[in-house]
């Protein structure tokens, strides 16, 4: 593996670690350490600063303790990692399909964008996330 491939893999590993800690384990103290101090979260209403992101989602986690995010695919290019995931507010709840875009700076997450789409009850989740390749 050349240095560029190692860097891309390190970025993917960072995003995977953050998702596990933040969304699934709700270990906000450890997850906070993976964000830059001036982390920018473009999710509506969250804003700038790693503490704003943690405060915002810890409220969601308190209301939905069973929330989970399962990454189905991950792509890295340059300083960005894109994930295609399944979000569930609770284990038995109707899922949503989510794409998150993460920008990495100096080994930490510096910026985040996301879009999501609820899965209609009459649709197959597997059809929506099926790998076309």
CATH of the domain at 65: 3.10.450.50
pLDDT of 40: 96
Q: Is the dihedral of CA 79, 16, 70, 118 positive or negative?
A: negative
Give the CA distances from residue 15 to residues 59, 121, 123, 124, 125, in Å, rounded to whole numbers and listed in that order: 21, 30, 29, 27, 23
pLDDT of 65: 92
| Count of domains for the chain | 1
- pLDDT, tens digit (0-9, with 9 covering 90-100), for 116-132: 999 888 776 776 666 54
Residues of the chain where predicted confidence (pLDDT) is lower than 70: 124, 127-133
Closest CA to 71 of 81, 79, 61: 81
Boundaries of domain holding 76: 3-129
- Cα separation, 109 vs 86, whole angstroms: 21
pLDDT of 131: 57
Helical H segments across 1-133, by residue range = 3-19, 28-32, 50-63, 125-129
């Amino acid at each position: 593996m050349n240095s560029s491939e190692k860097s891309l893999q390190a970025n993917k590993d960072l995003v995977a670690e953050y998702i596990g800690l933040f969304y699934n384990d709700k270990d906000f103290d450890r997850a906070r350490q993976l964000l830059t101090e001036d982390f920018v979260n473009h999710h509506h209403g969250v804003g700038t600063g790693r503490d704003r992101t943690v405060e915002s989602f810890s409220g969601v986690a308190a209301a939905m303790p069973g929330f989970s995010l399962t990454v189905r695919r991950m792509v890295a290019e340059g300083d960005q990692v894109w994930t295609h995931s399944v979000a569930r507010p609770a284990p038995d709840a109707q899922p949503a399909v989510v794409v998150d875009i993460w920008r990495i700076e100096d080994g930490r997450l510096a910026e985040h964008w996301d879009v999501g789409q609820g899965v209609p009850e009459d649709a197959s989740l597997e059809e929506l996330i099926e790998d076309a390749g």
